[in-house]
Structure 1
Amino acid sequence: MGMSVKVIYIWLILVASAFTAFAGRGNGGNVRLPADTLVALLEEAGLPAADTSLPKCDVRAEVSRDTLLKYDAIMDSAMRRANVPFMDSMLRVIRYGDVDTLSMACPIEARVYDWLPEPTRPPLVKIGKPFRRELKNGLKVILYEDHSMPLVTFYIGISNDGVFEKDKAGVAELTSRMLLSGVQNRTKGQITDSLANMGSSYRMTRGSFYVSGLKRYMLANFNLFADVILNPSFPLQEFFTTRSSLADSYALAESSTMRILDRVYRSLAFGGKSPAGEFASAQSVSGVSLEDCVDYYRKYWKPNNAVVLVMGDITPGELDLLINSRFRTWKAGIVEEQKISVANDVPSTAVNFIHDPRAQGCNIIISNIADFNYNSPDVFPALFINHVMGGDLLSDINAVLGGAQRTPADVFSLSPDPLGGYMYLRTRTSDMDVVRALAEKTAALQKLRVTPLAEDELASLKKLLIGRIALSLEDRNAMGSYGLAVERGLVKRGFLEEMLRQINDVTADDIMRVAQKYIKPSQFRIVVYGDARKVVPPLELAGYDVSFYDKNARRTERPSLSSPVTDGMTALDVLRKYFDAMGGYAKMRGVTSLKQTYGITIGNNEFTADVLSKTPFYYQEQLMYDGQVYMKKTFNGNMGYTKIERTRTDLSADKVEKQRKVRSIFPLLDYNKPGFKAELDSIVPVRGHFTYKLKVTLLDGSMQNYYMSMDQGVPLRIENVSEAAKKETDEDGRVVKYVKEKISSYSDYSDYKSVEGVKYPFTIEIKDDSGRIFWKLKSVTPGIPLPEKLFR
């Protein structure tokens, strides 16, 4: 054994011992090797203590099995004398049979497997063919014989994953639980007691049931298995208890952040196009009746919609007798096929936010639709993408084929889910790091699209994947799941036989191609669960468009993100800061006339607008389209009107009188005049910036909310608040009364630039119930002569 092999071998033993001590095995879980003991161990192995600094060297020497066993025995003896427990099950090469690989090197980055001969092609996998049979009623029966142990498992699964439950979400789960609540000749208690007395295990899911036990109880287990499927009694006395228990479990799940995040994501991503977008709740399952359960059973628990899988110590002849005795007379029926549509990605990256003021930190999902299935050749490059990103598509495949749920620990998946494929990344971060986390995760995903995997990394991943798959083929349950998936049409025959070859043929270019096809950074749906007050401002500052949803995926209004003012600022302080930021009170007061020309976008139409202002109260706004005046608004102190094309509406005398009171081009300059009111309300985030919310009543009596940037002092948003009379009618449509309703619209101001010493916003975004309108300032001319005749 060469020097480098000795070093690696002892390093592995020491790492393994440390792990053993940490895990609590041996001497109270707190074992440490003194320095002199470590030196003694190394010297006994024929190595100087200085060689402990060489844990990462490559191992390429040919090593015989006898040599490995020799050093195994030496280290075992030395460490026992040092009172350090030896990792029997992890490092003794004798336990590996014919595999003489020091696999523990992986956690410490030592490439100890490099000395093994490189495989040329993966071995041909031969999958034992199961016994298959189909009854006249359409029931498919599969048998995997295994006489190594006296165990027999009976499993039945129906195809109901693609069934929409709509407002009865949870009916499939409740129906399956009712199947175990009693049969025609046994109560629920008798069923469970019988299984317990025989030592049999069982499990019922929303679309499957299995019983597994000793061969000696095979007939009893099978009869109970058949009774549950064929003769459920749906006892009313058990229904309410079962439904209440299920509703409680759903209510408990609603307190889980991860479950809320996942179900909101699925609902938004798949909506009504796929059952993947549905989720059950305590409310929905409480609306399911016993009749709904009976109806669901009759619709979907049909022999032509089911597959029976049997595994274990049983022959085809024995199985034939059992199946014919109970399932031959099970009546087939028409099973309604429901259309599942392909979900669509969002047009551009968007953030869907679930606000919880009690949330600590942020939970995030980054996802997009990935439309492919398990029979696609893209599955194999996707395996590599999953491992690079820390996910595990092999576990996803096993979960889908076996009908089990994925574990909540999965954080990444590029998965061809039968109900709708997706790219899904979930992470958690602090409130302050949410933008950085999104940038880092997006960059990592983008890297897969543009940077090929290094050859050595690709080769290592191939070894890992091929080894895992080869080992999984020895699992009887995995093989049974595979056979079941074939019968359901989820995978084609020969899938596993071809899998190792397909993985070995994957290239770095294949991985990039699949990443480019199914990872879409420009169309990410980002779902965030957290405290909007802490997280939304930096998200909006980073340019994300944020919409809000509740825990049931319903669109909600933007929550209040305000907080009280605690820095001692007053409304007068905010106004003075505003004047200073805009160029100074005197400079602003010196603007007595002003012309502004805008380019305006309304939908797909482009307009231009000229806005003229002159003290004390002259104002004109003219909107033009295709060279023609489309709208004109004028006020000269004595009269005012609005004209749209040929329709003119004059201002009332009352409005004329009120508007005459406004004497400044910048309304806040009148802050010290009678009738002007300003109240500092709170601190509110606007477009990623914290602002002072200033409630203002102008001289004309109109009310506005100014959102002044705490840093810059300029207004980032001005909100117009007004009241309108809303009709309330009775059942016959007659007006009962009028009630006041507050109506608000706002304009966002940005891109401030100084012109002759005064700042003006060069971008204005107006938002109301009709949508958004963008005004882009093309030119601004203060001090321009404006004769009064222009305002007639």
Structure 2
Amino acid sequence: MNKLNRTLMPVLVLVLMLSITISGQAEAKKRWEKINIPQLNEIKMPSYERVALDNGMIVYLAEDHQFPLVELSASIDVGSIYEPADKIGLAAMTGEVMRSGGTETIGGDALDELVEARGMTVETWIGQSEGGAYLSVLKEDTRRGMELLADILMHPAFPEDKIKLAKEGQKAGISRRNDDPMSIASREAMKAVFGADHPMARHAEYATIAAVTRQDMVDFHNRYFGPNRMYLVVIGDFNSREMINLIESSFAGWASVTAALPADPEVPDFPRTVNVVDKDDLTQTTVLMGHKGVRADSPYYAGLQVANRILGGGFASRLFNEVRSRQGLAYSVGSSPGTGFRFPGLFMAYTMTKSESSEKTTELILAEIQKMLAEEVTAEELEHAKDGILNSEVFNFDTKREILDRMVMFERLGYDPDFLQQYQQKVQNMTAAQVLEACQAVWHPERMTILAVGNYADFDGDFSTFGPVNMVDIEIPEPPLDIPAPTAESLAQGKAMLEAYAEARGGLKKFQALKGTREVMVLDATIQGMALNFTIEKTVLYPDHILTMQKTPFGNVVTSVNGDTGWAQGPQGMQDLGATDVQKIKAEVQTEGIGVFRNLDTLACQALAPTEVDGVPCLPVHVSDGDDYQIFFIDTTTHLVKMVQAPGVSPMTNAPVTEKLYVDEYADMDGFLMPKTIRITNDDEPFATGTFQEFEANPKVDMSIFAKPKK
């Protein structure tokens, strides 16, 4: 008996514990189930009126008297897909300057002041395949706001100063476009999938921005902006009949556009390519893979939305659970379904993983996609995905404007007005078999083009397992310089003029005999509206020892090149210079003033057409070492340089600028005629003035000044 008790007691204890646990779980579940979770609100169409005006404009109106506000959004049939290939950026800048530049009756700055004073919002823009405008005003300012918006859309002024500002913004964006790996991957993936010259993949360059003129903007606006190309959605505290009258009077006289819209660009369906952007400064790889998808009017649209929710559409997706949670290969991973309303979408998967797992992670993602084509999803996955889509749609359309903006899109692109309701019903009735059918019809992992951005040398494989690898060059082309092809005569004339310039300053042989120089300059610059003072001392021992010490308002900065190595020290600490930076500093010394004299026989010196600088006849001489260039504008009487033009970088935006250095005065310094006072402009805008305070030829220098300081 005691033995039996000893045997049964542990069993009884276990059974009792299990029963308590199960009872507790059941009770917990029971308590949870008692929580009354209300059904989410249905997406209900607001009460609205659609009116077609005599001028062709389509207006959707929905009165809402809860607050004394009026909100208007316009959709316009225009986009960057229509801009010329040699002027990419035209559309975006046109949309920007329409608002920033004001109109023929009110300038952009005055418009800003008025809008701010009245608490209005007035905006315009042009995207890839649609333009838009937005107005938000108090009820009492409705008439003034509508008249302003109409004036902007009908009579934009396009002033040159605002065009220049828009170009600077575009150039700044170009200069920074390789800063973020995901931005690189997104941009280059579109080019790999659609083709580099496709209107949906191409992007602005310095040359295309420079090519855009004010007349281009005027012509682009005239061709694409008209009442018959515009849809208006108006929501707020107004009377619909009075609002229609106001719209008609505000836009009175606006002529319709007669030219037909160009045909939409065809979206190609290329075979897979494998592409790598090699950036050796990265420790993480960004991978995008994708191929052409379908439009939203495809019978597989709803099925693909559900499938994508299961594959990579959230924290409960297969990709997230397998790639991130189970295998720990990535922090970010996901997918998009490959659907679009106007154009076929891009079926895509993406991840960011450490360099050493780049190929493994890519293989794993492709395998997960293949599983979606091999068998039906589970009932639990299906219900979770359907609930997620239906619930999220409510929040995507929780305002009247969002709903009516979507109605406008449906009308513009030829979809049924009740497309959204049809879609919701299809999702609600979706079966696992239909999801599988959609995946098998549209998703083809073996055709997905692959693009990886990372340190290729550290990859766990060379990606050739996916196909032949293309190395993608993302170097940003420099702004073009339009000069004629050199001739033997122009090269001889250019060299002779530079020799005369050297003689006027002390003699070519004296300059070529220099072993080193030291100079001190004080520079007064204006940066972002702030007047700043810099003292720059530069010591050079030819050909490869350069020390530059700058005293700035933000602290001292020292840069040194010591042969093939270099270092820099500033307020943020010490760092070594890379080989590229070292070579760049050495090249600058060889192609600036004295360096040109020392290397005259190795440089291409091409005389250009005569011109004037500040009213003085000059002969420009283009000097280049094959990479960098400068143009010396030499006074044909004194043989002294009046101005030097060279490529520079804006200290505000880091974008390329044309830098011009004007020499206003020369002075005798240590046996040489040296520039004394100078002016510097960036893109012809004043930037700085400077005075050379000291110049020393062949200075006595302690070589230790070039060495990196010890810690």
Give the TM-score normalised by the residue count of structure 1: 0.51
Counterpart of 1:155 in 2: which secondary structure? strand
What's the counterpart of residue 348 of structure 2?
Answer: 424
Question: Take 1:386 and 1:466, find their aligned partners in 2: how far apart are those partners?
Answer: 14
C-alpha distance after superposition, 1:216-265 (max 9, x if no partner)? 22122111111111111111232212221232133223422222211111
Match of 2:469 among 522, 546, 564: 546
Distance (Å, rounded) in 2 between the aligned partners of 1:291 and 1:57: 76
Partner of residue 302 from structure 2, selected from 354, 358, 380: 380
- Larger radius of gyration, structure 1 or 2? 1
Cα 1:461–1:188 change in 2 (3 A) is: same
Give the C-alpha shift of residue 552 in structure 1.
Answer: 6.8
Paired AA for residue 142 in structure 1? Y
Do 1:307 and 1:487's aligned partners in 2 also have CA atoms closer than 8 Å? Answer: no
1:133 partner amino acid:
V
Unaligned runs of 5+ in 2: 1-19, 315-331, 478-711
Q: Given the superposition, is the C-alpha separation of residues 164 and 452 from structure 1 closer, same or farther in structure 2, using an over 3 Å criterion? A: farther
Counterpart of 2:86?
A: 167
**Which of the residues 99, 113, 121 maps onto 1:201?**
121
How far residue 450 of structure 1 moved from its aligned partner, in angstroms, is 1.3
Deviation at 1:167, TM superposition (A): 1.8
Q: Does 1:213 align with 2:132?
A: no
Tell me which of the two structures has the higher relative contact order, counting C-alpha pairs closer than 8 angstroms and 6 or more residues apart. 2
Which of residues 138, 142, 152 is equivalent to 2:70? 152
CA separation of 1:438 and 1:472: change in aligned 2, threshold 3 A? closer
RMSD: 2.9
- Offset of residue 547 of structure 1: 1.0
Determine the C-alpha separation between the residues in 2 that align with 1:534 and 1:137.
Answer: 62
Partners of 1:60 and 1:437 lie apart in 2 by 42
The letter for the 1-side match of 2:86 is D
Q: Does 1:315 pair with 2:239? A: yes
Note the C-alpha offset of 1:378: 1.6
**1:273–1:134: structure 2 CA closer, same or farther, 3 Å change rule?**
farther
User: What CA distance in whole angstroms lies between the structure 2 residues aligned with 1:359 and 1:198?
Assistant: 48
Q: Which of 42, 45, 62 matches 1:127?
A: 45
Indicate how the Cα distance of structure 1 residues 312 and 543 shifts in structure 2: closer, same or farther if over 3 A, else same: closer
Q: What do the CA deviations read for 1:136-184 (whole angstroms, capped 9, x no partner)?
A: 2221111122222221112222122442541211111100111111211
Residue in 2 aligned with 1:23? Answer: none
Query: For the structure 1 residues 137 and 520, does the alpha-carbon distance in structure 2 shift closer, same or farther, using more than 3 Å as the test?
Result: same
Q: Is the 8 A contact 1:251 1:282 kept in 2?
A: no
Match of 1:59 among 10, 29, 33: 29
d(CA) in 1 for partners of 2:226, 2:215: 18
Name the CA shift for 1:304/1:516 in 2 (closer, same or farther; >3 Å): same
The answer to whether residue 96 in structure 2 is matched with residue 177 in structure 1 is: yes
Contact 1:153–1:310 at 8 Å: present in 2 too? Answer: yes
State the one-letter code of the partner of 2:92.
E
CA gap 1:539/1:246 in 2 versus in 1, 3 angstroms: closer
Q: Partner letter of residue 467 of structure 2?
A: Y
SS, match of residue 413 in structure 1: strand
Deviations 1:187-238 (A, max 9, x none): 1111111111121233332111101122122122111111111111111232
CA distance in 2, matches of 1:163, 1:422: 21
Distance 2:337 2:138 in 1: 39
Q: Distance in 1 between matches of 2:32 and 2:384?
A: 20
Aligned to 1:248: 172
Deviation by residue 1:289-330 (Cα, 9 ceiling, x = unmatched): 111111111111122221122112222112112111122321
1:570-719 matches, within 5 Å, as: none
Deviation, 1:62, is: 9.0
* Aligned CA distance change for structure 1 residues 53 and 227 (closer, same or farther; 3 Å): farther
Q: Is the 8 A contact 1:273 1:342 kept in 2?
A: no
1:640 counterpart residue number = none
Deviations 1:37-92 (A, max 9, x none): xxxxxxxxxxxxx989978987356966xxx6xxxxxxxxxxxxxxxxxxxxxxxx
Please state if 1:503 is matched with 2:411: no
Which residue of 2 is the match for residue 359 of structure 1?
282
Q: Secondary structure at the match of 1:309?
A: strand
Q: Distance in 1 between matches of 2:442 and 2:115?
A: 47
Q: Contact 1:342 / 1:420 at 8 angstroms: preserved in 2?
A: no
Deviation at 1:507, TM superposition (A): 0.8
Q: Report deviation, 1:463.
A: 2.4
Structure 1: gaps of 5 or more residues: 1-49, 69-99, 102-115, 393-408, 555-792
Q: Distance in 1 between matches of 2:397 and 2:192?
A: 37
Asked whether the equivalents of residues 372 and 436 of structure 2 are also in contact (C-alpha less than 8 Å), the reply is yes
Give the counterpart letter for 2:276 in structure 1: F
* Partner secondary structure for residue 192 of structure 1: helix
- Residue identity over aligned pairs, in percent, reads 20
| Comparing 417-426 and 507-516, the one that deviates more | 417-426
Do 2:277 and 2:452's aligned partners in 1 also have CA atoms closer than 8 Å? yes
Q: Distance in 2 between matches of 1:57 and 1:368?
A: 50
Distance 1:509 1:326, change over 3 A: same
Preserved CA contact (<8 Å) 2:233 2:401? no
Structure 1 residue 445, shift from structure 2 partner: 0.8
Q: Which among 245, 252, 273 is matched to residue 350 of structure 1?
A: 273
Report the CA distance shift for 1:240/1:57 in structure 2 as closer, same or farther (over 3 A): farther
Tell me: CA distance 1:411–1:339, structure 2 relative to 1, closer, same or farther (3 Å): farther
CA distance in 1, matches of 2:258, 2:29: 64
3-state secondary structure, aligned to 1:363:
strand
TM-score (norm 2): 0.57
Change (3 A) 1:435 1:330: same
Alignment check: 8 A CA contact 1:356 1:531 kept:
yes
